[in-house]
Structure 1
């Protein structure tokens, strides 16, 4: 039965899962007595399942063809662009006070784990709609966990092109001689391996937040948003939750899963030596997590702000914690803001530290995690290459002291990382120019473009001097941001790989 289902295109399987998932918020709305929202989700689920079954029945009589990796990559692209049209139907019908474009934007933002929302006032949405937003973001995070090793890694995309021996969008030369497992089999194996871990971590965080004092719905949305790094909240952020400092401390620990895939799996190892302490991504992430808050903390004395309160230990501790939590949150591209972040800003004397948060979000988290951005591995590889070039400037006849794997990373890996960085910068510049041409100010265009490409939606309200109201944007601007969110989630190299002639020749 499972093998039969896996023979269908990935986009059809994802559509069926999405249709079945709509029953959960429908049942929740029914239990809450919100019958209009319950009908919207239940009817959408029934119609969606019927449509998927009819399409599957129509395709079952066709000759069986194995799904290739490029076909799965195309399905992944369709999942982030076309599937939100279906996901937006119950949201649009349940809310009934917004346009379908706004609902589509909301679902693209959730599925790409961006978390940018049209509804800054959380009270405008019912609990069931908040649950649906959180679920869509959570499924988007799980999809990226699975697709990283089942779809992107075999094609040397998503960050794996830095360490792999093959070219991006193609198989490695060392695997050409061997018969590779089918993409459906890999998807099945990876799902069985990672889905229980993802579900278990989410359930554990939800239980800890409930024990800390959060409402069950608020706790489950924050738990799903933390694992998916979507930054979606039912109360406007963790600073408004009931768990307080204890809840932030627990969420802080779960943010670490976005810094390196080795924190939860070893199926796509990016380092030759085993162990998390040898992982360059995790080490670089820890340097940033502790280095940036300490610099902000030390600026209190360097700039001589609030000299009379230097001895206030509780204020100092709050400032340090606010910097630690918010730094890790934006580095993981989640975007949750600590309740002590205002204290950290006052302590450092930086009234608008938006540039710091923009920079952290652009760096992003680890390869093959739910985090977005340029990725820590690419930053590390560029650092290795620049460090070696500096050595050669001082000692022109020196020889690198590392093994062949590291030499390959410093050369071909750094070259590919630099190409990606240039593509990322060109995409960012293009989106900024298009948004500016559509009537946005330069500051707003930069914040919107960075937030979309790094999949860090909360930057829209935190990084700018005044929060940007997405509802006031024109329809073309909203569509541009939707495209930028998909581009930031899949990355430009993966989209370029879709133009491979082998995909369209089939």
Structure 2
């Protein structure tokens, strides 16, 4: 039965998981006596399961044939573009006073772990609809964890092209195919390995936040949002949570999982030497998490010195903590804002540091994690190449002292990372031009483009002095933002790989 199920397209399996997941908010709404919302979820779940059963029955007579890695990559693209149509159905019926395109935007934003929302007004959504948003984001994060090693790594995509010896978007050789498991079995094995880790970490964070003082639904959604780096919150952010600074400290520790794959798995190792302290991504990420807040703190301290408020040590410590938490949050593309962040800015007289937060979001987190952005490994490869070129300016005949792996990152890896960076910049330009052509101002268009391409939705309300109201945008603008979120989640190189003739030959 399991072998037969693995022969079906990945998009059908994902649709089946989504249909089963709809039962959870349906039962929650039933307990909360929100019968209209409960019917929307339960009926949508039953309808989806029946349709999938009919499609599976129609495909049962075909010859069993495993899917290739490129076909699974195409299924991922379909999952991010077509599956939200199904996910938005109970959400649309449950609200009953919004357009379907708004519900579709919300589901694309949740599934891609972007976290941009049109329903941030307190009381607009019932708890069951908030739960569905958080669950879709959590499932989207799990999908990226699994797809990273089962789909993207064999194709040398998603950041693996920096360290891999093969060409990006190309499948493995015939010998590798003989030694490796089939794509379907790799998906199953990776799911069995990572699902308990992902679920266990979420449950542990949920328990800690409840002990800290959050009510169960808020703690559950914040734990799911932290692990998925979606930044989805039913109360407008963790600064409004009851757990306070203790909850922020716990979330800070769990956000470190977005800096490197080696924090939770070694299935896609990116360094020749074992150990997290040898991982260039984690070290580079921690340098940013420590260095940027110290620079901001020095600016805070100078601002406080000018207004003669340096006697408050507690206020200084609060400003430092607010900087560290917010920097890590936006570096991991989660987008949570510390409760001390606003106080720190008021204390020093510093305005909204939108450019700093946008830059951190563009850098992004680790390869094969739920974080978006350019990725730390690509930035590290460009750093190594730049440092080596500066050495050659001083000593033109010098020989690099790095090992074989570092030489790969510094040469071919840096070249591919630079290509990706240029493609990312072109995508940013294209999205910005499209948004301005649809009537947006230049600054809002830049913020919207960076927020969607880096999958950091909270940037839309944090990076500007006046938050951008997504609900007031026109329909074509929302569709452009949806396309940008899918492009930012799958990355440009993966979209280009889908143009490979080998995908369409069969």
Is the 2:4–2:64 contact (alpha carbons within 8 Å) kept by the matching residues of 1? no
8 A contact 2:363–2:379 mirrored in 1:
yes
* Deviation of 1:120 (Å): 2.0
CA gap of 1:16–1:296, structure 2 versus 1, over 3 A, is same
Cα distance, 1:177 vs structure 2: 7.6
What is the alpha-carbon distance in structure 1 between the residues aligned to residue 102 and residue 69 of structure 2?
A: 33
Which residues in structure 2 correspond to 1:362-401 (within 5 Å)?
Answer: 362-401=362-401
Structure 2 residue aligned with 1:313: 313
**1:353-364 mapped onto 2 (5 Å cutoff):** 353-364=353-364
CA drift at 1:307: 3.5
- Counterparts of 1:32-431 in structure 2, within 5 Å, are 32-171=32-171, 176=176, 178-303=178-303, 305-431=305-431
The equivalent residue for 1:461 is 461
Classify the secondary structure of the residue corresponding to 1:340. Answer: helix
Q: Is 2:304–2:310's contact at 8 Å kept on the other side of the alignment? A: no
TM-fit CA distance, 1:348: 3.8
Mean CA deviation greater in 179-188 or 412-421: 179-188
Following superposition, the deviation at residue 347 of structure 1 comes to 3.5
Distance 1:10 1:381 in 2: 33
Change (3 A) 1:465 1:143: same
Deviation at 1:63, TM superposition (A): 1.4
Contact 2:447 2:460 survives alignment (8 Å): yes
- 1:476 corresponds in structure 2 to 476
SS at match of 1:122: coil
Question: Take 2:82 and 2:308, find their aligned partners in 1: how far apart are those partners?
Answer: 58
Say which SS state the counterpart of residue 211 (structure 2) adopts: helix
**In 1, Cα distance between the equivalents of 2:336 and 2:230?**
9
Counterparts of 2:177 and 2:482, CA distance in 1: 41
Q: Offset at 1:346?
A: 2.4
TM-score if structure 2 supplies the norm length? 0.99
Aligned partners of 1:16 and 1:400: how far apart in 2? Answer: 52
Q: Distance in 1 between the 2:82 and 2:90 partners?
A: 15
How far apart are the structure 2 equivalents of 1:18 and 1:171?
Answer: 29
Query: Deviation at 1:174?
Result: 9.7
**Per-residue Cα deviation, 1:351-409 (whole angstroms, up to 9, x for no partner):** 11000000000000000000000000000000000000000110000000012221111
Normalising to structure 1: TM-score of the pair? 0.99
Structure 2 CA distance for aligned equivalents of residues 370 and 308 of structure 1: 43
3-state SS, counterpart of residue 242 of structure 2: coil
Q: Deviation digits for residues 128-159 of structure 1, max 9, x if unmatched?
A: 00000000000000000000000000000000
Cα distance in 2 for residues equivalent to 1:120 and 1:55: 37
Shift of 1:179: 3.7
- Work out whether residues 296 and 323 of structure 2, in 8 Å CA contact, stay in contact via their aligned partners in 1: yes
1:21 aligns with 21
Q: Secondary structure at the match of 2:67?
A: coil
1:372–1:267: structure 2 CA closer, same or farther, 3 Å change rule?
Answer: same
Query: For the Cα contact (< 8 Å) 2:69–2:183, is it kept in 1?
Result: yes
Q: 1:475 to 1:177 in 2, by over 3 A?
A: closer
1:442 alignment partner in structure 2: 442
- Report the CA distance between 1:122 and its aligned residue: 3.3
Q: 1:403 to 1:353 in 2, by over 3 A?
A: same
Structure 2: runs of 5 or more not aligned: none
Name the CA distance, whole Å, in 2 between partners of 1:441 and 1:210.
42
Provide structure 1 residue ranges, at least 5 long, that are not aligned to the other structure. Answer: none
Comparing 346-355 and 158-167, the one that deviates more: 346-355
Q: 1:61 to 1:468 in 2, by over 3 A?
A: same
Which residue in the other structure is 1:9 paired with? 9
Tell me whether 447-456 or 169-178 shows the greater mean CA deviation.
169-178
Query: For residues 436 and 390 of structure 1, what CA distance do their matches in structure 2 show?
Result: 39
Q: Distance in 1 between matches of 2:189 and 2:152?
A: 15
Shift of 1:3: 1.4
2: distance between equivalents of 1:132 and 1:245? Answer: 27
Task: Give 1:176 deviation, angstroms.
Answer: 4.3
Shift of the 164–257 alpha-carbon distance from structure 1 to 2, 3 Å rule, reads same
Structure 1 position 433 matched with structure 2 position 433: yes
CA contact (8 A) 1:165 1:173 kept: no
- The separation in 2 between residues aligned to 1:14 and 1:38, in whole angstroms, is 22
Indicate conservation of the 8 Å contact 1:258/1:369, yes or no: yes
Determine the C-alpha separation between the residues in 2 that align with 1:146 and 1:106: 23
Counterpart-to-counterpart distance in 2, 1:252 and 1:176? 40
Question: Could you say if the C-alpha distance between residues 2 and 173 of structure 1 is closer, same or farther in structure 2, counting changes exceeding 3 Å?
Answer: closer
Which runs of at least 4 in structure 1 moved beyond 6 Å after TM superposition?
none
- Alignment of 1:487 with 2:481, yes or no, is no
Per the alignment, in what secondary structure is the counterpart of residue 292 of structure 1? helix
Q: Secondary structure of the residue that 2:123 maps to in structure 1? A: helix
Deviation at residue 471 of structure 1 after TM alignment: 0.7
Moved more, 87-96 or 312-321: 312-321
Bigger shift: residues 71-80 or 349-358 = 349-358
Q: Is the 8 A contact 1:135 1:224 kept in 2?
A: yes
Aligned CA-pair RMSD: 1.1
- Size of the aligned set, in residue pairs, is 506
Q: What is the distance in 2 between the residues matched to 1:183 and 1:403? A: 32
Structure 1 residues 177 and 439, CA, compared in 2 at 3 Å: closer, same or farther? closer
